Structures are given as structure tokens and as C-alpha cells.
Amino acid sequence: MKKELPVAITLILAILYVLANYFTGVAFLDTAKNLLDRWYLIVAAWAVLVGSINLTQIHGRRISGKREGWIFSVWLLICLYGMMFFGIFVAKNASHPGWTFMYNQLIAPMNATVYSTIVFYIGSAAYRAFRVRSPEASVLLVTALIMMLGRVPLGRMLLGGHPALSQMADWILNVPNSAGMRGIQIGACLGGVATALRIALGIERGHLGGTGE
């Protein structure tokens, strides 16, 4: 029953959810869907507790064993529990000035900073990857050059104001790129539906810790 029960639950709920998405005017289906959405949110909220316990255990062991970099584990736990207690006992809602200060002045800039490191990684990835190793790689290189110059004002400036590069970049976006994107998306969507069907029907059980049937 350890494997059969989750599979049965998955099948029943999958049918309910799919039918609720397709059909309207059936009160039972709407209620079931709303209930499932709310249960998911509740489970997700409690799962944060599970994750926090895992983090605490891992970093607690690093601290107690004084492993390399253990001081950063101390800092992590201070930030984790500090913000948690502040949010629950002091701020109590997201519009508290202290809470918005922490979010807007600490978390948001840190997120933006890490996101900004992508500019460096794009540079080093482009330098490594765009080499004339093969005909396909050469096409990739030329396309990259056209796109990089065509999508900034520099391209126009290099050609004395002529829009040739941006026109080529637009053509690449509108024609081969769109065709490729559509093909990949159609294939990916079909694959997603097939995967969902396999899981709903209990044929694929890799996510339960087994392998297939």
C-alpha cells in the first residue's frame, strides 16, 4: 500500500483538477479545485518549517564540529531565526516598516547583486563557447555577433547609422528563432503532458522513490 495509495490519490486528484480546468458550471469541481489550491498553499507553508529544520541541523553540525567556514553557518542561523522571530512577533504583517526595510534594503539589493553577476558569466561563457569548432558552431558564432551588435545602438553607429545589423537581428528573432522556439515548445508541452499522464496513471513512479513499475 505504500506505493499504491499515493498513486491512487494522485490519479483521483489529477482527474478532478483536469476536469475542473476544462469544465465550468460544476460546483463540485470548482469547490474541489479551490480546496486543492488552498491545501497546496497550506502544505507549502508547513514545508518551510521542515526545510528550516534541515538547514538548522546541517549548519548546527557544522558549528558544533567547527568545520571550515563554521562562522558563516552561525551568521546564517542568526539571519534565519532573526528574521523569522521579527516577522512573527514584531512585524506581524508585510507592511510593517521594519519588515519592508529589511526586505527592500537587504534582500532586494542582494538579489539584484547576484542577478548582476550574470553579466560576467555571460562574458566568460560566450568566450568559451563561441568557437569555430564545427560548421554549426560557426553559424552560432556569426548569429551571436549579429544579435549582440544589432540589439544595441553600437551596431547602427558602426555602420554610420545604417540599420542593417538591427534589421538582420530582427529577422533572426522573427524567423529562425520563432520557428525553433515553436518547435521546442510544442515538443516540450507534449512531453510535459505525457509525463503528467504517466505519473497520474501510476506508470512512472520515479518521484516516489522507485523505478517505473
Three-state DSSP state, 113: helix
Q: Which of residues 62-121 bind another protein (CB under 8 A)?
A: 68-69, 95, 100, 103-104, 107-112, 114-121
Q: Does 193 bind another protein (CB under 8 A)?
A: yes
Asked whether 39 and 46 are in contact (CB, 8 A), the reply is: no
Asked whether 16 and 36 are in contact (CB, 8 A), the reply is: yes
Q: Which of 35, 42, 98, 131 binds another protein (CB under 8 A)?
A: 131
Q: Cα–Cα distances in Å, from 133 out to 127, 172, 190, 203? A: 13, 22, 33, 42
Q: How far is the CB of 173 from another protein (least distance, A)?
A: 5
Return the number of the residue (12 or 125) whose C-beta is nearest another protein. 125
First-to-last alpha carbon distance for the chain, in angstroms, is 14
Q: Which of residues 44-63 bind another protein (CB under 8 A)?
A: 44, 47-48, 50-51, 54-55, 57-58, 61
Q: Does 11 bind another protein (CB under 8 A)?
A: no
Asked whether 169 and 147 are in contact (CB, 8 A), the reply is: yes
Q: Does 135 bind another protein (CB under 8 A)?
A: no
Asked whether 36 and 13 are in contact (CB, 8 A), the reply is: yes
Q: Does 151 bind another protein (CB under 8 A)?
A: yes
- Which distant-in-sequence residues (6+ apart) come within 8 Å of 1 by Cβ? none
Number of residues written out for the chain = 213
Q: Does 35 bind another protein (CB under 8 A)?
A: no
CA 59 to chain centre: 25
Q: Does 9 bind another protein (CB under 8 A)?
A: no
Q: How far is the CB of 71 from another protein (least distance, A)?
A: 14
Q: How far is the CB of 89 from another protein (least distance, A)?
A: 20
Q: Does 190 bind another protein (CB under 8 A)?
A: yes
Q: Does 182 bind another protein (CB under 8 A)?
A: yes
